[in-house]
Structure 1
Amino acid sequence: MADYRRYAKKPSNTNTTSEPEADEEWDIYADEGERLDGFPDEGEVEITAVTPLRKPRHHYKLTFGELNLMVHEDVMIKYRLLKGMYFSKEELENIVIANERQTAYAEALNYLSRKARTRTEIARKLKEKEIHPEIIETTLVRLQQEKLIDDELYAQQWAKQRVNSQKKGKVWIRQELRQKGVNKENIEQALEEIDPNDEIASATILAEKKWKSTSGEVFDKKRKTMAFLMRRGYSSDIVRKALDAVQQKPEDDWE
């Protein structure tokens, strides 16, 4: 049998108001208890108005007489939060938790829309928003299940791009991936997949440019070029091979 207890009376208008509201400041990540302060522990409360908000985007203000609650539009649709419907405080608590999860997920997707991120980078971003640690973990698990974050793949792509496009060495890349929170196993695997010839080729291109722009005797050129390559994250072995290639190549053949 259908449950009509939410509809104490037929709602006169189940649509949202046409004009978005922008005057009030809303804290998306307020504590659950703080959000529901003032709501009665017993009985049910009626949604008397549903108002779209300009900020934050995709959120609505639910009005329960003199009380208000903000929810993401996906949560509003899922729980059918329409004018004229009634909810108990226990039900609202579940809605608040669902809203927190959806808002955290939406925040993570927005962060990912700019470029790929590591698990740790997303966790840091959500922590900045003061999202509860359990909600952050739930969000990260969901993103991993949906293949939206993958630290192993991220490390592999990052390493190849840094060697070939940015002309960085493995030492530099290892430090970058550590800062991004990638674990040691994924870092080392990504570095192992770098073709040594690609790293030598990148180092040699840099060495040629540095050597050509450096004045002084051969000893000075070699010393300054070596220091330059080391700062770019190349190992001493790669630096030696790049310098050997530069010194053996006629300057007329340099790029």
Structure 2
Amino acid sequence: MISAERFLEQQGLQPVSSEAGGLALSCGGRPQAGRTEFDYDRTPSIGGNDTPRRARHARHAGRVAVGVSRIPDDPNDLDACREAALRLLDAAPRPSGAMRERLIGKGYASEVVDDVIVRLIRVRLIDDEAYAQSAVRYCTSRLMGYRGAVMELKRKGVDRQLAQRVCDEAESQGVFAEAAWELGRRTARKTAGLDVEVRKRRFWSAGGRKGHNPEVLRKIAQELFV
């Protein structure tokens, strides 16, 4: 029976003692650096760092977990909550409802959030009325109707009653009616040359999406699409 040493010699493999005291194999007579069983649990990397892969992954997971944490050290920290609110206002104006939702979402106590919002309203850094009026102007610039504007203001965090009141004021001034007429004129220009029924359907579809009064849309369709 052939011995193990003889078999290795026939295959061109030579046993080589490693510095760590283990046994490695050389190929073609060129000794390779000895690697023990422990060495194969390591993952080589650039620069010769052979830290075990699972250890590096664990450290990376720890850094990610720390980086995404949104919970404040102290949910009752009034100063930290105020600073968070000011950073939000620095990015964009917000009504009190939206501000409260964001701060509570960051982990601050509701009592602390309410206190901060009251102070910001007192110094007029939060002005729900002005914000709502500005939002209505934005809605009409997008040719939205009364219903669409109310829904948009509520989505932005404006109180429902305030949203309805400022939209009522805008409607009494004919703002939404003019937006509907402008929508009709634009649709008429874009659909010129098409079948009249197709033009009407496209206008009704656009008017419905933007939340206009059906009676106003019917009157405009009768005058512009004949």
Same fold (TM over 0.5): yes
The structure that is strand-richer by fraction is: 1
Cα deviation code 1:27-65 (max 9, x no counterpart): 871247xxxxxxxxxxxxxxxxxxxxxxxxxxxxxxxxx
Cα deviation code 1:199-236 (max 9, x no counterpart): 22222222222233236321221122112111111111
Instruction: Tell me how far apart the structure 1 counterparts of residues 159 and 119 of structure 2 sit (CA, whole Å).
Output: 20
Aligned to 2:7: none
**Cα 1:27–1:156 shift into 2, 3 Å:** closer
Partner SS, residue 237 of structure 1 = helix
* Partner AA of 1:146 in structure 2: V
Aligned to 2:178: 201
Aligned to 2:136: 159
Cα deviation code 1:128-177 (max 9, x no counterpart): 221122211111111111122122332222113311x2211111111112
- Conserved? CA contact 1:118–1:150, under 8 Å: yes
* Partner AA of 2:88 in structure 1: Y
Superposed, 1:2-13 pairs within 5 Å as: none
Partner SS, residue 194 of structure 1 = helix
Answering whether residue 111 of structure 2 is matched by residue 134 of structure 1, we say yes
The counterpart of 1:218, out of the listed 189, 196, 199, is: 196
Instruction: Tell me how far apart the structure 1 counterparts of residues 121 and 92 of structure 2 sit (CA, whole Å).
Output: 16
Partner SS, residue 220 of structure 1 = helix
In the alignment, structure 2 segments of 5+ residues that lack a partner are: 1-65
**Cα 1:222–1:124 shift into 2, 3 Å:** same
Cα deviation code 1:71-102 (max 9, x no counterpart): xxxxxxxxxxxxxxxxxxxxxxxxxx5xx211
Aligned to 1:181: 157
Aligned to 2:211: 233
Partner SS, residue 125 of structure 2 = coil
* Partner AA of 1:106 in structure 2: E
Aligned to 2:56: none
Superposed, 1:89-128 pairs within 5 Å as: 100-128=77-105
**Cα 1:246–1:102 shift into 2, 3 Å:** same
Instruction: Tell me how far apart the structure 1 counterparts of residues 105 and 168 of structure 2 sit (CA, whole Å).
Output: 34
More divergent stretch after superposition (119-128 vs 235-244) = 235-244
In the alignment, structure 1 segments of 5+ residues that lack a partner are: 1-23, 33-96, 249-255
**Cα 1:241–1:199 shift into 2, 3 Å:** farther
Cα deviation code 1:106-139 (max 9, x no counterpart): 1111111232211111112112221122211111
The counterpart of 1:29, out of the listed 50, 69, 72, is: 72
Instruction: Tell me how far apart the structure 2 counterparts of residues 242 and 102 of structure 1 sit (CA, whole Å).
Output: 55
Answering whether residue 146 of structure 2 is matched by residue 170 of structure 1, we say yes
The counterpart of 1:143, out of the listed 120, 130, 133, is: 120
The structure that is helix-richer by fraction is: 2
Higher Rg of the two aligned structures: 2
Partner SS, residue 116 of structure 1 = coil
Give the TM-score of the pair, scaled to structure 2: 0.61
- Conserved? CA contact 1:127–1:136, under 8 Å: yes
**Cα 1:200–1:244 shift into 2, 3 Å:** farther
- Measured on the aligned residues, the alpha-carbon RMSD in Å equals 2.5
